[in-house]
Amino acid sequence: MIFEDNITLQNTAVMDVDTMKLRNENNFLRNQNVELKGKLKELTVSLEQAIGPRYNSIV
């Protein structure tokens, strides 16, 4: 994307709003990713405990 030197104030405000929306979405997705990694770890431990030594041969 090429930006010109004559960007209007209105365009700058729109870009600021878009930037804020993207930051919020990015933060939400990062937090969701952390939660999902935690759940995956819990499920992996539960699976290991449920099937015992056979787990290593499955994965």
**Secondary structure of the chain in HEC code, one letter for each residue:** CCCCCCCCHHHHHHHHHHHHHHHHHHHHHHHHHHHHHHHHHHHHHHHHHHHCCHHHHHC
Indicate whether this model's pTM tops 0.75. no
Please give the pLDDT value at position 21: 94
Question: In the prediction, which pLDDT does 36 show?
Answer: 98
C-alpha span between 37 and 43 (Å, rounded): 10
Chain mean pLDDT for the chain: 84
